Amino acid sequence: MVEGPGCKIKGEKIKGKLNGKIVKSVNGNAVDKEIKPTKGITTSQFHQLIGRRLDEVQTVGKELFMYFGDICLRVHFLMAGSFLVNNKKLDHDHGGTAETASLEIQLSEDKLSFYKSGVNIRSSQVCQERYEKFHDLDICSPVFNQKRAVAMVMEQTDRMVCDVLLDQDILPGVGNIIKNEALFDSGIKPDSKVNELKEEHVLHLVKMTRDFSMIFYKCRSTGTNLRKFMKIYNKGKCTQCDGKVVICRLGEDNDRVTYFCGQCQDNNLKQKQTRTLPTKNSLLGWVQTGKLQQTTQAEEAVDWACSVCTLVNRATTVTCDACLTKRESNQTPGVMKQNSKAASTLSNGTKDNPINLTANSQKRKSSDPVTSSNLKRQKIDKVVKNDEKQDIVVNKIPLCPGHKQKCNLTEVRKKGDNYLRWFFSCSLQRSKQCKFFKWADESFPLCEGHVKPCTIRTVMKQGQNNGRKFFTCSFPKNKQCGYFEWAIGYD
């Protein structure tokens, strides 16, 4: 969904380009749905805009208000909404387009098109009243009232914090990405009740929510990839402790996926008499200076060499990709350590410390010798238990030919002949993608009941299998044949 920062930028762009322009005509899906010639209905609510001048543009949370005298066009960008001016994109958000616009407004000199968005006409007074009521709670507002926001959150005593953060009448503009990242930065488990938190914890949570929202806003404003600032959302491993990330559906809105780390986010608040705040500092050092950092520590760091098997690992990893040895404390990012003595030890061992990789190899067994030629950047992404034995599972997700990076596995959500099919594509941000495409479901197993390619799903229930992917019948639930198989190698 387009979150508050994206909506705010859209409003700024539209206001800067179109304010003061007069509407000449309207069309689009929203207009066509209301026109029914057979019933004598030849106009829509949007025809009221014709001849009116755009006086003002405001945003609050995920809502965009465009004022035309006493009426207002209210726009909600839903999951993947976008806008174009004269068929050109003005922002860096990743919304989609369609063959026909939801609403197209021809102004005196420019054409404004909204795609995949919810639009309707409302009274300007009603929209203005909503703006006045919530604009200081808007998570991206320049007059954000932290004290009021904390008080609003504290009133929701019996609700989960994950639900409170997404409530657009409490913190307008917070979406699922911001929710997950703010809870992680606050060290709070998503299903914690508000009454389990002290005011200082809620204050810290609101601050982290505001901080990440401003990072989100800066990234969308400049076209910087937001993913390098994400620590938990859409991650398989915790970026702080390297532990497994729990992926589940919690709270009132079960359509939203929640990500959290059971180790870094406190899951036992009730039994604690006191709870200290996390040691994480504010995320906004670069935002407060007004200068966006172009690099992160991970980008500046240099690869490091394992002291046991000598494999050169990427700077962001904390364990060796080959033998799973943890990086030594003196091998900080930014130092590449060439350890010839370790290489000798690997081959021959020593009298006092004979070579023994058994402890590290319990998670990884292979008949191949540990050599630089067969370890060089070959990835064995997952090891699973099967009948009390541990087997090597080779990743079945291909590398894109343009960047040699692991591809994304995506489900088609657009209605059509390929609806709900799975495909591989380049995982880089859109402006840098190599356009690689391959149907993934061509190699999926066939379900036994219908002999049709299966679909792939993820275990959302909390437990030892949480986050694992599995194949199941692709038919609707009431027609499924009950086929099940773990999707090994697709993580």
DSSP code of residue 48: G
Number of residues assigned to the chain:
491
Active site residue 2: yes
Q: Per the residue annotation, which of 2, 150, 174, 202 is the catalytic one?
A: 2
Rounded to an integer, what distance in angstroms lies between the CA atom of residue 490 and that of residue 78?
29
Long-range contacts of 257-262 (CB under 8 A, 24+ apart): 257/176, 257/460, 258/162, 258/179, 258/180, 258/190, 259/180, 259/184, 259/232, 259/233, 259/234, 259/235, 260/180, 260/183, 260/184, 260/189, 260/190, 260/232, 261/184, 261/232, 262/189
Q: At 254, is the secondary structure helix, strand, or coil?
A: coil
> How far is the C-alpha of 166 from the C-alpha of 182, rounded, in Å?
12
- Give the Cα separation of 212 and 235 in Å (integer): 17
Give the separation between CA 307 and CA 271, rounded to whole angstroms: 42
Give the whole-angstrom CA distance, residue 294 versus residue 286. 10
**Which positions ≥6 away from 359 have C-beta within 8 Å?**
none
Closest CA to 236 of 43, 454, 406: 406
Residue with tokens 């938190």: 197
User: If phi over 0 gives left and psi between -120 and 50 gives alpha, with beta otherwise, what is residue 42?
Assistant: alpha
Sheet of 56-60: strand order equals: 56-60, 63-68, 71-76, 118-123
Residues 163-175 as b or e (16 or more Cβ within 10 Å = b): bbbbbbebbbbbb
Which residues are marked as active site?
Answer: 2
